[in-house]
Amino acid sequence: MKKLLALVLAVVMLVSMAAIASADELTSLNTYETQGRELETWNIHYSQAAADLNVLCNLFDGLLTNDNHGNLKLNAAKSYESPDGGKTWVFTLNEGMTWFDKDGEVQADVKASDWATGLEWVLNYAKNDSYNASMPMEMIVGAAEYYEYTKTLTDSEGADAVKALTTEGKFDELVGIDVDDEAGTITYHLVDALPYFPSVATYNCLYPLSAELIEQVGVDGYRDITWEDMWYNGAYVISYFENLNQKVLTKSPNYWNDANVKRFDTVTIKMVESVANAYQLYKAGELDHVSLDQATLQAIYSESADAEYKPYLVEARPTKYSYQMHLVYSKNKEDGTPDENWNLAVANENFRKSLYYGLDLTNYLARTNAINPLSCENYCYTGNGVAFTSDGTDYTVLVRNELGLDYDRTTYNRYDAEKAAQYKAAAIEELTAKGVTFPVEMDYYISGSSTVAAETAKVLSDIFSLCLGDDYVKLNTKTYISSLANEVRKPRLASFYINGWGADFADPVNFLGQETYNDSAAYYSNAYSNINDATDADLIAAYQEFTDLVVAAKAITDDMDARYAAFAKAEACFINHALAIPCSYEVAWELTKINNFSKVYSMYGMQAYRYVDWETSTEAYTTEQMEANAAAYAAE
């Protein structure tokens, strides 16, 4: 039987590959992003947003990258090693790398010292605020001390004085990085043995920066650098950019690794109002792939419209982003005064648990994947595929075991109407005694220009109403014009956000470290939940319990299985207190001329959008062809 199955598989693969071989490969790529995901900064050291990094990862080469299986792969570094079991890491650079401008004109050589310049920029509070500082601060000797030095100096001496700092002086004295331009080596000295540190070398906190560029444009000039003024050292340069319209990446003419990397002549990223608009462009032959929204997917699948595309439906690979319902613990009303009714309600654990157990999000998941919505179900905070135990067990399995959740794709696993009713009753009793009025109003913001977001919000509103009752909570869908950060997040107007986080390196701390209490480097604690401004003692105690568990887990560096087990307990604590509510993964369906299994694939870092070494076809892949690609990939 096994031989027969193998023979059938081989025949299917041969037929599929023959069909693909009859089509040429794409020489240029036409892709898209929705306008809500327009790039906000060209400064690769400053950004923590996927919308930026998905572009910038093509313009700059870091030390390492990933291959299509997620394995670490050499990039700017030609080798790396640890002579002492993970406490010291030495990276040796390739020869012949250069910095060049958008026209490909060489500006300077890439040197080992550029990595020290980049790290100084990241750790310098006056230059980079706190963006991307948490990882090097936690890992590299003296990095936290240098960051605190610049932060204190900013307050006492002023930002301009701190901006003038370079790698000479205090940085060189404190920070555990040694560079040798002649030998082309970069040596990092870590606070402890960290076997996962090379995965950090794929991320922008350890990216190079030319001191000569800073001399040319100035510190403020680099902070606000444009595509026209910056220097590149990667596979592509930007040859055209129009905000909210399109950007064109052109193959770098002086790329150091040209002989070993397959690239497109150009990659055109068109900004569209919605996925529905992208679908129209795909049908018109203007795009080479498109993800399908719920209505379009259902129409094709049921053959009620565009049935000719049904044989080409492909389920995409999951993205690295783990989406959560991020609750806000210090919210304001639109007049700027505290929203006491919401702040009291969300601080109550029974209220939060009524949301956790009471919302069946199946219909919400169907907005991403109408054919197989439960493939998008998310049980944990940390994303799948980020870390594995010594026997190959995914870390998230440890978390699910701590939570007592089975891996079940037939029902929405977490939903428990009986438990939700109990928590709801307890919350009403406790909150009424504190003066909270019902229904508790929950303000949820979407882009005012997005019809898809409005339709999805309606589905979410119906779920709240059906599962929890209009007498208990009321979901108010509100809109912003152009910037969620400036119009909603900074004035603290939302009750919650549904937002995704992707790991920057291969360890759970990259997720859980964003939520710790009273930590200036914890992104979600400071930028979203505002937990550090909460006053409820029980809420703070829950966050402190979680934070203490994270700190304890971080301290375990000599036994990775023990480390992951400790992190799983911390994550289960966070979820059991319903401090944030796991929501979804992105597993969409699409039409595509790209072999998804040839692309860089990693569940951490920022390398997945590198437009290099892709297998493509001038004709769309059929369902069967992509299944054959998947089988061949699994056999590699």
pLDDT tens-place string over residues 58-84: 999 999 999 999 899 999 999 999 999
3-state class of 337 per DSSP? Answer: coil
Instruction: Retrieve residue 215's tokens.
Output: 């001399």
Mean pLDDT of 215-234: 98
CB 512 within 8 A of CB 570: yes
| Residue keyed to tokens 């920070």 | 175
CB 580 within 8 A of CB 324: yes
Q: What is the mean pLDDT of the chain?
A: 94
Instruction: Retrieve residue 270's tokens.
Output: 């068109």
d(CA 480, CA 488): 7
CA neighbours closer than 13 Å in the CB half-sphere of residue 280: 5
Confidence tier at 3 by pLDDT (50, 70, 90): very low
d(CA 607, CA 28): 20
Instruction: Retrieve residue 214's tokens.
Output: 């800073």
Confidence tier at 536 by pLDDT (50, 70, 90): very high
Of 604, 626, 603, whose CA–CA distance to 615 is shortest? 626
Q: What does the pLDDT read at residue 36?
A: 86
CB 156 within 8 A of CB 127: no
Mean pLDDT of 112-141: 96
Confidence tier at 2 by pLDDT (50, 70, 90): very low
**Better pLDDT: 543 or 370:** 543
Q: How many residues does the chain have?
A: 636
Beta-carbon contacts of 583 under 8 Å, excluding residues fewer than 6 positions away, are 323, 324, 325, 361, 364, 378, 498
Mean pLDDT of 395-402: 96
CB 97 within 8 A of CB 256: yes
d(CA 610, CA 236): 10
d(CA 273, CA 51): 15
Torsion on CA atoms 486, 489, 493, 498, rounded to nearest 10: 130
**Better pLDDT: 19 or 306:** 306
d(CA 75, CA 202): 9
Q: What does the pLDDT read at residue 557?
A: 86
Confidence tier at 23 by pLDDT (50, 70, 90): confident
d(CA 344, CA 338): 11
CB 148 within 8 A of CB 120: no
Strands 64-66 and 72-74 come out as antiparallel
3-state class of 163 per DSSP? Answer: helix
- pLDDT exceeds cutoff 60 at 258: yes
pTM for the model stands at 0.79
d(CA 379, CA 8): 36
Mean pLDDT of 256-267: 97
CB 445 within 8 A of CB 493: yes
- How far, in Å, are 32, 169, 173, 190 from residue 166 at the CA level? 39, 7, 12, 21
Of 235, 264, 221, whose CA–CA distance to 104 is shortest? 235
Mean pLDDT of 622-636: 96
- pLDDT exceeds cutoff 80 at 603: yes
d(CA 554, CA 562): 11
Instruction: Retrieve residue 525's tokens.
Output: 């604690």
Q: What is the pLDDT of residues 372-392, one digit of tens each?
A: 999 999 999 999 989 999 998
| Residue keyed to tokens 């919210």 | 331
d(CA 123, CA 28): 38
d(CA 237, CA 104): 8
d(CA 503, CA 585): 14
Q: What is the pLDDT of residues 523-535, one digit of tens each?
A: 999 999 999 999 9
State which amino acid sits at residue 493: L
Instruction: Retrieve residue 191's tokens.
Output: 């606070």
Q: What is the pLDDT of residues 154-178, one digit of tens each?
A: 988 999 999 999 999 999 999 999 9
Of 249, 294, 241, 251, whose CA–CA distance to 271 is shortest? 241
d(CA 145, CA 130): 13
Q: What is the pLDDT of residues 167-215, one digit of tens each?
A: 999 999 999 999 999 999 999 999 999 989 999 999 999 999 999 999 9
d(CA 384, CA 397): 9
SS (H, E, C) 78-115: EEEECCCCCCEEEEEECCCCEEECCCCCEEEECCCHHH
Q: What does the pLDDT read at residue 413?
A: 84
**Better pLDDT: 49 or 446:** 446
- How far, in Å, are 367, 439, 442, 475 from residue 470 at the CA level? 23, 7, 12, 9
Confidence tier at 12 by pLDDT (50, 70, 90): very low
Torsion on CA atoms 269, 272, 275, 279, rounded to nearest 10: -80
